Structure 1
Amino acid sequence: MYQPAAFAETRTEELHRILREHPLGALVTHTEQGFDANHIPFELDAARGAHGTLQGHVARANPVWTGAADGAQVLVIFRGPQGYISPNWYPSKQETHRHVPTWNYEVVHAHGRLRILDDEKFVRGIVARLTRRHEASLARPWKMGDAPADYLDQMVGMIVGIEVEITRLEGKRKLGQNREPRDLQGAVAGLQERGQAELAAAMAGASKGD
């Protein structure tokens, strides 16, 4: 990944935060047919391994778990908030007109080793953890026990567990850190007007050195 120094993010806690807040990762594998990408919601176990471990599941019918060897090197891409930045939002543009559009974003590349876990106990565990996390904010959270046991058994049998032991993390937060403060603040205001609050907040935080 191209990494200008101004945008490089190396803090593990920040990279883990992006993973947790945006858990849908693009798992990139290389098979005999070439590159393949599958979009999978992951749960991060930050305490396992030097950089953490990603856990998830795929459909049994998905060839990713048979096409990629157990232990294969893989890449998982997580994308945080992102959006178009208009040069018209920069106050200095009105003075010099020497600005062009750009795109701001947060992204994490998790490099690691794939592990296939065709194990019912693991699958039930990861489904339960994902469910608890994403149902927690709902007024009436769904839980696995809400489904009939025979139906749940059938559904669990249709998925296979996977893990990615993270061996290296790369992070990039392109949030206008290279702009003068008034231009960065103008871009934040422009995003807020468009309802892109998450990206605006990330850029405002970057301006304060977060």
Structure 2
Amino acid sequence: MYRPASFVETDLAALDALIERDNFITLITVRDGVPMVNHLPVLYHRDGDSVRLRGHWARPNPQARHAGPATVVVHGPHAYVSPSWYPDKESEARVPTWNYAIAHLTGTLETFDDEASLAALVDDLSHQHEARVGRDWRFEYGRDDHRSQLRGIIGFRFHVDTASLKFKLNQNHPIANRLAVAEQLETQQRDDSRDIAALMRARTPLET
């Protein structure tokens, strides 16, 4: 990923926040020179600099046989930026751009299909997302019909070796421009635009 120095983010707390906001990742593997891409919900765990993801595929998915090197894209918010919002738009001949936050993780996939691990994964995923929608469905370990469903999936653990974060938030502009863009984004209807505005304000020092 192209990362000019102004946009490099090194604090893994920023990765925590991206995953908390949206844990539906893009998983990329390559076999025999051919990339395979899938989109999957994951569970996230970080202990210091150690990061691990857990998730699963449908068993027929060919990527479920792709243990080994992989790349994960964690998608953050993004928003269009109009040059008309910059106070110096005329003097600097400003042009449109796009602000965004994103992370690329590289590491190793480890697959598993034992019943206990799959059951724990499904239960943990459902517990997380049921709470977000105000419901309480849980995997019931004692039900044969619930356990039989596990035969249709293969689980994975993704052990992260490197995390590359890019937060492109007009850091290469004067503070006045950054604050003006954040103010305009806060008025937009899209959640992503308002989320980008919040990230910009958090990373823009107040003028003195």
Please, what TM-score do these two structures have when normalized by structure 1? 0.88
Give the secondary-structure state (helix, strand or coil) at the position aligned to 1:207: coil
Contact 2:82–2:95 (Cα < 8 Å) also in 1: yes
CA distance in 1, matches of 2:58, 2:112: 12
CA distance in 2, matches of 1:15, 1:154: 35
CA distance in 1, matches of 2:154, 2:20: 22
CA distance in 2, matches of 1:159, 1:150: 16
Give the secondary-structure state (helix, strand or coil) at the position aligned to 1:44: strand
List structure 1 segments (4+ residues) > 6 angstroms apart after TM superposition.
none
CA distance in 1, matches of 2:205, 2:109: 37
Structure 1 position 199 matched with structure 2 position 196: yes
Give the secondary-structure state (helix, strand or coil) at the position aligned to 1:6: helix
Change (3 A) 1:87 1:34: same
Select 1:190's aligned residue among 177, 184, 190: 184
Give the secondary-structure state (helix, strand or coil) at the position aligned to 2:6: coil
Contact 2:115–2:147 (Cα < 8 Å) also in 1: no
Report how far residue 142 of structure 1 moved. Answer: 2.5
Aligned CA-pair RMSD: 2.1
Aligned equivalent of 1:37: 37
Report how far residue 43 of structure 1 moved. Answer: 0.8
What is the correspondence of 1:50-129 to structure 2 with a 5 Å cutoff?
A: 50-66=49-65, 68=66, 70=67, 72-93=68-89, 95-96=90-91, 98-129=93-124
Give the secondary-structure state (helix, strand or coil) at the position aligned to 1:177: coil
Contact 1:116–1:163 (Cα < 8 Å) also in 2: yes
Report how far residue 126 of structure 1 moved. Answer: 1.3
User: For each residue in 1:129-188, what CA deviation from the matched residue of structure 2 results, as whole angstroms up to 9, or x when unmatched?
Assistant: 11122222333332224x993442232221110011111111110011111122112211
Unaligned runs of 5+ in 2: none
Opposite residue 16 of structure 1, the aligned amino acid is D
Unaligned runs of 5+ in 1: none
Opposite residue 146 of structure 2, the aligned amino acid is L
Contact 1:15–1:108 (Cα < 8 Å) also in 2: yes
CA distance in 2, matches of 1:208, 1:201: 13
Give the secondary-structure state (helix, strand or coil) at the position aligned to 2:50: coil
User: For each residue in 1:35-59, what CA deviation from the matched residue of structure 2 results, as whole angstroms up to 9, or x when unmatched?
Assistant: 1111111111213x84211110110
Structure 1 position 170 matched with structure 2 position 164: yes
CA distance in 2, matches of 1:115, 1:148: 27
Report how far residue 20 of structure 1 moved. Answer: 2.8
Opposite residue 171 of structure 1, the aligned amino acid is L
| Matched pairs, number | 203
**Percent of aligned pairs with the same amino acid:** 31
Give the secondary-structure state (helix, strand or coil) at the position aligned to 2:203: helix
